[in-house]
Copies of this chain bind each other. A is one copy, B any other.
Amino acid sequence: MSLRPTLDFLLYDWLDAEKLNQSERFADHSRETFDAVLDTCERIAREKYAPFNRTVDTQEPHFDGEKVILPQATHDAHKAFVESGMMSAAQDYEIGGMQLPYTVQAAANSFFAMASVSIGSNMLTSGNANLLMVHGTEMQKEVFAKNEFSGRWAGTMCLSEPQAGSSLSDVSTRAVPDGADFQDDPLGPRYRLTGNKMWISSGDHELTENIVHIVLAKIPDENGKLVPGTRGISLFIVPKRMVDTQGQLTGERNDVALAGLNHKLGWRGTTNTLLNFGEGKYPVGGKAGAVGYLVGAPGKGLHCMFHMMNEARIGVGTAATMLGMAGYYASLDYAKSRPQGRLVKKPEAAGAAVVKDSAAPQVRIIEHADVRRMLLAQKAYCEGALALELYCARLVDTQKTGNAEQADDARLLLEVLTPIAKSWPSEWCLEANSLAIQVHGGYGYTRDFPVEQYWRDNRLNMIHEGTHGIQAADLLGRKVLMEKGRGLQLLAGRVTDTIGRAAKVPALAPHAKALGAALQRIGSATEAAWSTGDPADALANAVPYMQAFGHTVLAWLWLDVAVRALEIDAQKARAVTAGKIGATDYFFHYELPKIGAWLQVVETRDPTCTALPEDAF
């Protein structure tokens, strides 16, 4: 199975990616340059990522007391990725980028996520550098961001702490000015940081000569106290090794120490660390405290961070999607080749028992109805999720290059869709991986087949970069309310547009009607949830709300894809068209009806869970 036809359809036939070059920024690009990028990434993923996906699972990172050891394959994959130029693909020509649309970059990166999701952690590095390009000083861009884009250094995001995972307002890492002249450091106002950071991906390794940590910390007030809440959070660059203004290592370690590696269920190719900042293990200039350079204004750390949240969440959603896709392809291949059992036949006499002709040869399992159901569910989940991620990526491009109104609409739509782009694939492409195991039967439960690893790897995605619960609270507690509900209205407008087009196609008209009803019900459930004005009532069932919202969004995207597929191929002459229509039918018959159960508790602000006394659990 090749991902390419699916990507090509979504990019070119559905999202009109070729027209991206109508904006000035992408004027030099064309389908040829986009295809060349896809070709390169597909090849690197095939050669340097896929063959080593099991290697990085079994050869987990370990610390030898001095260094974190990773398999050679991880070094090779990193080198190949850097050499491809993908790390800075979206950046300006003048700093060595390709000015590639994010849509195409996201599509290209999907090859890597499918081949080995954890062997690379380049998204963190480019996300880190992107943030510096927006909020950093010229010197910070020059010294830190550029060396990350070139692949010479790597980057991290240090947000969580052992006592503050999802609750960033409780960050307690302290940053105090480093000397009287702390404002005068050419790399930025210089602080000393002390604190512990947990769950830091790629927090230590030898893939690059240096690591640029971006760290959330609080600057104490005049009484030495940390400001409660997120308002007090500032953002700092904390390099693992000290550097000068030329971007050369000074030879001195910064006071950042690896306190431990987390041993995970999956996603083992990427180190995940507990880092101690400023414990005095590596004093700088004879003094304990990790040296950090302030980025942006004090107290605006989360604001700077949010700038990159959307892309990071689309990245997580894409990773979840591609793990699902990898499992789908593996189980489809298996189902096409594995003989097992026979089909049931209609008995000749009424009331006779079900018969099978046991002398006939066994059939391949793709001929069994239930195996087909499991395969089509995977296709509907994973190709639908990919459509969602690419749609969101396209909005990122519009936000950057559209006219004022288009850009603003894209921004607001992205606000509403991002929790879905993060949560929906994390939940349903994980389910797809479980179905991929099931299609394999006992073999799927062994480590001789890849599907069990996909399932383990994918389980992370509902947790990191904002848990499912956090995404749901963000969606129902913030996103659908912001700007007086204009984001939800924008989305409803686009859904209604698709409904209008689908209603004219006889094969799709029943789906159009079902989607209209679902959209209405989402609207009324949103109102009912907030009808008491008490967030405790509204958010009591935020996750079921998000599940229903996500299924409605996916139904919309599938319907939109189906309309487009039939526009291109009204005769359904191509197998790919039959596949899109089949997946759309599946989604509308088997999936969309699930929203009733989810919305019922939202609409009634069901208090069953919140009201139960603690000792009754």
Write the residues of chain A forming the contact surface with B, with a CB cutoff of 8 angstroms.
160, 163-167, 169-170, 198-199, 228-230, 262-266, 332, 336, 339-347, 350, 353-354, 356, 358-359, 362, 366, 368-373, 375-376, 379, 434, 437-438, 441-442, 444-448, 452, 455-456, 459-460, 462-464, 467-469, 472-473, 477-478, 533-536, 539-544, 575-576, 578-579, 582, 585-586, 589-591, 593-594, 596-597, 600-601, 604, 606, 608-617
By a CB distance below 8 angstroms, the chain B residues around A369 are 536, 539-542, 609-610
How many chain copies does the complex carry? Answer: 2
Which 3 A-B residue pairs are closest in the complex by CB-CB distance?
A229-B358, A593-B597, A579-B616
Main secondary structure of the interface of A (DSSP, over half): helix
By a CB distance below 8 angstroms, the chain B residues around A455 are 265, 459
A576 vs B341: C-alpha distance when bound (angstroms): 48
By a CB distance below 8 angstroms, the chain B residues around A593 are 596-597, 600
Taking A263-B448, A346-B534, A437-B463 as known contacts, 6 extra A-B pairs with beta carbons closer than 8 A to each other, sorted by chain A number, are A228-B358, A228-B359, A347-B535, A369-B609, A589-B604, A596-B596
What is the chain B residue whose CB lies nearest that of A350? Answer: B533
Q: Would A533 and B346 count as touching, CB distance under 8 A? A: yes
Q: Would B610 and A441 count as touching, CB distance under 8 A? A: no
Q: Would A165 and B441 count as touching, CB distance under 8 A? A: yes
Q: Would B594 and A263 count as touching, CB distance under 8 A? A: no
By a CB distance below 8 angstroms, the chain B residues around A591 are 597
A-B contact pairs, 14 of them (CB 8 A): A165-B442, A166-B340, A167-B341, A263-B447, A344-B535, A354-B477, A369-B536, A370-B468, A370-B469, A379-B617, A438-B469, A441-B467, A442-B464, A590-B597
- If the complex has contacts A359-B229, A369-B609, are A354 and B167 also in contact, measured as CB distance less than 8 A? no
Question: Which of A376, A464, A600 has the most chain B CB within a 10 Å cutoff?
Answer: A376
Question: How many whole Å from A424's CB to the nearest CB in chain B?
Answer: 15
Q: Would B600 and A597 count as touching, CB distance under 8 A? A: no
Question: How many whole Å from A483's CB to the nearest CB in chain B?
Answer: 12
Q: Would A376 and B533 count as touching, CB distance under 8 A? A: no
A477 vs B593: C-alpha distance when bound (angstroms): 25
Q: Which of B265, B354, B579, B597 contacts A535 (CB 8 A)?
A: B354
Q: Would B469 and A166 count as touching, CB distance under 8 A? A: no
Q: Would B608 and A376 count as touching, CB distance under 8 A? A: yes
By a CB distance below 8 angstroms, the chain B residues around A590 are 544, 597, 601, 606, 608
Question: How many whole Å from A510's CB to the nearest CB in chain B?
Answer: 12
Question: How many whole Å from A571's CB to the nearest CB in chain B?
Answer: 14
Q: Would A541 and B373 count as touching, CB distance under 8 A? A: yes
A585 vs B616: C-alpha distance when bound (angstroms): 13
Q: Would B582 and A608 count as touching, CB distance under 8 A? A: yes
A434 vs B463: C-alpha distance when bound (angstroms): 11
What is the chain B residue whose CB lies nearest that of A364? Answer: B614
- If the complex has contacts A167-B340, A229-B358, A542-B370, are A468 and B438 also in contact, measured as CB distance less than 8 A? yes
A464 vs B160: C-alpha distance when bound (angstroms): 40
By a CB distance below 8 angstroms, the chain B residues around A264 are 445-447
By a CB distance below 8 angstroms, the chain B residues around A344 are 477, 535-536, 539
Q: Would A578 and B613 count as touching, CB distance under 8 A? A: yes
A479 vs B342: C-alpha distance when bound (angstroms): 20
Q: Would B535 and A346 count as touching, CB distance under 8 A? A: yes
What is the chain B residue whose CB lies nearest that of A262? Answer: B446
Question: How many whole Å from A264's CB to the nearest CB in chain B?
Answer: 6
A228 vs B362: C-alpha distance when bound (angstroms): 11
By a CB distance below 8 angstroms, the chain B residues around A617 are 332, 366, 372, 375-376, 379, 579
Q: Would B478 and A459 count as touching, CB distance under 8 A? A: no
What is the chain B residue whose CB lies nearest that of A164? Answer: B340
- If the complex has contacts A230-B358, A445-B459, are A166 and B536 also in contact, measured as CB distance less than 8 A? no
By a CB distance below 8 angstroms, the chain B residues around A448 are 262-263
Question: Which of A229, A358, A539 has the most chain B CB within a 10 Å cutoff?
Answer: A358
Q: Would B616 and A575 count as touching, CB distance under 8 A? A: yes
- If the complex has contacts A359-B228, A442-B464, A536-B346, are A336 and B459 also in contact, measured as CB distance less than 8 A? no
Question: How many whole Å from A503's CB to the nearest CB in chain B?
Answer: 20
Q: Would B459 and A434 count as touching, CB distance under 8 A? A: yes
By a CB distance below 8 angstroms, the chain B residues around A346 are 533-536
What is the chain B residue whose CB lies nearest that of A613? Answer: B578
Q: Would B614 and A336 count as touching, CB distance under 8 A? A: yes
Q: Would A441 and B463 count as touching, CB distance under 8 A? A: yes
What is the chain B residue whose CB lies nearest that of A199? Answer: B442
- If the complex has contacts A264-B447, A336-B614, A339-B163, are A589 and B606 also in contact, measured as CB distance less than 8 A? yes
Q: Would A368 and B469 count as touching, CB distance under 8 A? A: yes
Q: Would A445 and B469 count as touching, CB distance under 8 A? A: no
Q: Which of B340, B359, B368, B615 contacts A575 (CB 8 A)?
A: B615
By a CB distance below 8 angstroms, the chain B residues around A462 are 438
